[in-house]
Amino acid sequence: MKKNNLIGLIFITALSTGLTMISAFLLARLLSVDERGALQLFITSVTYGVTVGAGGVGFALALGMRNRQYLHWKKYVAGFLAYTVLVGCIALYLFNITSFSLLFVLNVLLTAVLNITLEKSKIDHRLKIYRVLTLQQPILAVLLYGGCYLLFGERQLSTVLWLLTGLTAIQAALCCLYLYRIEREFLSDNQVTPIESKFFFRHWAKQNLLQVFGATTSNLDKFLIVYFLGNYTLGLYTVCMAFDALLTRFINVLADYYYSGLLNRLNRIKAVLAVILLMSVAAVALVPFLAEPVVAFFFSHKYTAVAPLLLWFVINSILAGLSWVLSQNMLICGKQVLLFSRQLVSILVFVVLFYWLRDLQLQGVAYALIGASLTRLIISIVYYFKFPLDYSSSQQGQS
C-alpha cells in the first residue's frame, strides 16, 4: 500500500473523531449528568455482550479468506448472530443492566452485524469499506442527536435510546450491503473452498477469548464506577472518555492499518509508531492549557470539575494504544492465549488499584487505568521482540 493510503486513512479518522466528539457534546446536552451515565452503562453493556457473542467471528472469516476458505460463511454468521442474541438475553436475566430490555437485545443484535463487518473488511489491504464504516457511524450520530437537540432540547433517556437503536439499525442495514460487496469482489478474484470448521473455530475461540478480556479491561472501569461511585460519576467520566477517545480512536485505526498489512505480509510498524509519537507529543503539550475552556464550552459547566484530570486519561490512552499496536503480530502468530494472560494480569492490577484509590474518585480511576495500561505495555514489548514475524526482502519496509 502506498503512503498516501495511510494519509487518507488518518484524514478520515481525524474527521470521524471530530464528529464523534460532536456527538459526545450533543449527548452531554441532551441528557442530565445522571442519565448520561445510565446511557453509557447501556452502551457499554451492549458492546460487552456483542464481544462475548460475536467477537472474533469476522477475524476468523478474514483469516479463512487469506487461505481462500470462504464458502458457506453466511451460515457461520447467522449462527453467531443467534448466539449473540442469547448472550444478550442471559445478560438481562443475570444482571440489572437496564429496564429497556427489548431495546437492549435489539442493539446487541444490530451491533453484532457491524462488529463482524468491521473485522471482515480488514481483508482488503486498502481498507475501503473499513474507512466508510469509520466515518459513517459518527455522521449518523451527529445527524440524529443533533436534529433531536435542535428541535426538542434536553430529552429523557428513553428518547435517546430509541435514537441509538435507529442509528444501529441503519448501520446494520448498510453493513449487509458491504458484506455483499466484499463477497462479490472476493469471489471474482479468487478460487475459493469451503471454510474448514476446525480452522475457523480454533481461531475464533482464541480471538474471542482475547477480545472478551480486552473488552473486560476496557469496560471494567465503567462497571466499577457505577457499582462504587454511581451513575452521576459515570456521567462525569464520559467527558474523560471522550478526550481519551481522541487518541485511542486514532491509535486503534493505526493498529488496524498495521494488522491489515500483516495479513498481506507488509511491515508498517515504523510508520505507525512515528504517527503515534507525533500525536502523543501534541496531545500532552496542549491538553493542560485547553482542557477547562473546551469542557465548559462544549459539554457545559456541569462537567468542568473533570478538566484538571484529563491529562492523566490522555496519558493512559497513549500507553494502552501502544500496547495494542504491539500486540498485532501476536494475533497473526496465533498467540492469543499469551495475550489473554497479559490481559488477566492487567485486570488484576486495575481492580486492586481502583479499590485502593476509590476514595480519590475519578483521579483514582485515572491512576488505576495508567497502572493497568503500563503493565500491558511492558508485557507487549517483551512479546513483540520474543515472537518476531518474518518478511520477504521485497516487502520489508513497505507501507
Cα 173 to chain centroid distance, Å, stands at 20
How far is Cα 79 from Cα 65, in angstroms, rounded to an integer? 19
Q: pLDDT truncated to tens, each residue of the chain (399 aa)?
A: 455 666 776 777 778 778 888 888 899 889 988 999 999 999 999 999 999 999 999 888 888 888 888 888 889 999 999 999 999 999 998 888 888 999 999 999 999 999 999 888 877 777 788 888 888 888 999 999 999 988 888 889 999 999 999 999 999 999 999 999 888 888 887 787 888 888 889 989 988 988 887 788 778 899 999 989 999 999 999 888 888 877 887 788 888 888 878 877 778 888 889 988 998 899 889 988 888 998 888 888 888 889 999 999 999 999 999 998 988 888 777 777 788 788 889 989 999 999 999 999 999 999 999 999 999 999 999 988 888 776 554 343 443
What is the predicted pLDDT for the residue at 344?
87
Cα 27 to chain centroid distance, Å, stands at 19
Q: List, as one string, the DSSP characters of 100-152.
A: -HHHHHHHHHHHHHHHHHHHHGGGSTT-HHHHHHHHHHHHHHHHHHHHHHHHH
What is the predicted pLDDT for the residue at 398?
41
What is the predicted pLDDT for the residue at 313?
92
What is the predicted pLDDT for the residue at 355?
95
